[in-house]
Structure 1
């Protein structure tokens, strides 16, 4: 499986992650989930692999602007619905190597993955 990186085109963290991969010769297919959306089945699969809590960006502007009732009593089903409706709430980037799924960009973690 080819490495895939999911995120939003105009995101600083995405740019850092993509630059890191390119500088090390790692080819990754980019999927802009804001422009192209993301399937519910994909989100559910990610949640099964790493947990929904790692997928949702609760510190981001999109989540913080939600009404209190949308942010309250957050569980997996509710979080997945919110992320499906507003992909900007998905943590960026999501890197899928086939064997591993990594949410967020931390150079030391990427370094361990691509030794």
Structure 2
């Protein structure tokens, strides 16, 4: 089963969902705003993707919280992500044994075969 994590209003998430829908790939959608992910889930993701990939340093939440000035270590970054899921780059897709972070159509073409 494919699981997509993000927020419905995010442009990248919308593109990813359209991509999956167009290829008939079924998925379960998990909205960070209504069903936040746990620290344990984020720690599992970090085992399959770099923390620097998962942490959205370009988003409004990151800037609003002024996290760059806090000079966080990896443990603190994960803690912030678990309490503020909007710090997670979107979408995060669990597909078979692969974790896909963000939206890149060319990369998706190589990963998702219908």
Cα distance in 2 between the residues matched to 1:30 and 1:75: 30
- Give the TM-score normalised by structure 2: 0.92
Matched, 1:82 2:80: yes
Deviations 1:48-93 (A, max 9, x none): 11121111100000001113xx423222111111111111110000
Query: Structure 2: which 5+ residue stretches go unaligned?
Result: none
Cα distance in 2 between the residues matched to 1:98 and 1:38: 19
Question: Where does structure 1 differ by over 3 angstroms across 4 or more consecutive aligned residues?
Answer: none
Cα distance in 2 between the residues matched to 1:111 and 1:20: 9
Cα distance in 1 between the residues matched to 2:73 and 2:5: 23
- Equivalence map 1:23-62=2 (5 Å): 23-62=22-61
- Equivalence map 1:93-104=2 (5 Å): 93-104=91-102
Q: CA RMSD in A?
A: 1.1
Aligned to 1:16: 15
Question: Residue 14 of structure 1: CA displacement?
Answer: 0.7
Aligned to 1:66: 65
